[in-house]
């Protein structure tokens, strides 16, 4: 979030995202993020084979100025499947993230508001007990994930993410 917004109208933005799929654990799901006409497209196919079932992308780390925001808002168009926005800080162990889930209705652009209190600490699919509340001034990385225990193709279009 260069300062307070990530906008896929910037032709360089999609190159700042990296895929991290369940192949890291032996799964065969695939996914990634690319740009189409100024829109970020997170798409691929999830597979439950080999105990897999997730696909994700993370943006390159960058200092973000979100301490005065009350949350984040995304402009998205989905496919009816559930997604997660993941936020990374130095408050949690390496690999853990704060996550909030959202399920955009199919084929309709909509704003999704996620206040800070909607985020919970997670590590490898498990909720972390007794973690500090998310401190938005310490967010250094954002990511998107699909892990809804369904096999099949997915597509989430993202116009932008911004401070709320």
DSSP string, the chain: -BBTEEETTSTTGGGGEEE--GGGGT---EEEEEEETTEEEEEEEE--GGG---EEEEEPP--B--TT-SEEEEEEEB-S--EEEEEE-TTS-TT-EEEEEE-PPBT--EEEEEEGGG-EEEETTEEPTTPPPP-GGG--EEEEEE-SS--EEEEEEEEEEEE-
Residue 118: predicted pLDDT: 97
Whether 93 maps to a domain, the answer reads yes
Can you give the pTM of this predicted structure?
A: 0.95
Whether 157 maps to a domain, the answer reads no
Where in the sequence is the domain holding 78, given as residue range(s)?
Answer: 5-149
Whether 158 maps to a domain, the answer reads no
Whether 159 maps to a domain, the answer reads no
What is the number of domains present in the chain? Answer: 1
pLDDT digits (tens, 9 = 90+) for 78-88: 999 999 999 99
Whether 111 maps to a domain, the answer reads yes
Predicted confidence (pLDDT) at residue 3 exceeds the cutoff of 70: no
Give mean pLDDT, residues 63-79: 94
Question: 54-58, 93-97, 116-120 — which is least confidently predicted?
Answer: 93-97
CATH of the domain at 102: 2.60.120.430
pLDDT digits (tens, 9 = 90+) for 22-67: 998 899 999 999 999 999 999 999 999 998 999 999 999 998 889 9
């Amino acid at each position: 979030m260069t300062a307070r917004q990530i906008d896929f109208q910037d032709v360089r933005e999609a190159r700042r995202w990296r895929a991290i799929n369940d192949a890291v654990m032996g799964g065969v799901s695939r996914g990634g993020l690319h740009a189409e006409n100024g829109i970020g497209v997170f798409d691929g196919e999830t597979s439950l084979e080999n105990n897999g079932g997730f696909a994700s992308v993370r943006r390159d780390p960058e200092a973000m100025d979100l301490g005065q925001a009350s949350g984040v808002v995304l402009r998205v168009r989905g496919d009816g499947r559930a997604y997660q926005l993941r936020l990374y800080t130095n408050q949690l162990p390496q690999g853990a993230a704060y996550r909030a889930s959202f399920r955009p209705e199919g084929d309709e652009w909509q704003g999704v508001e996620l206040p800070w209190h909607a985020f919970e600490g997670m590590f490898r699919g498990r909720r972390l007990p007794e973690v500090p509340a998310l401190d938005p001034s310490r967010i250094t990385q954002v990511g998107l994930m699909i892990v809804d225990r369904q096999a099949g193709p997915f597509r989430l279009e993202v116009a932008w993410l911004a401070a709320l």
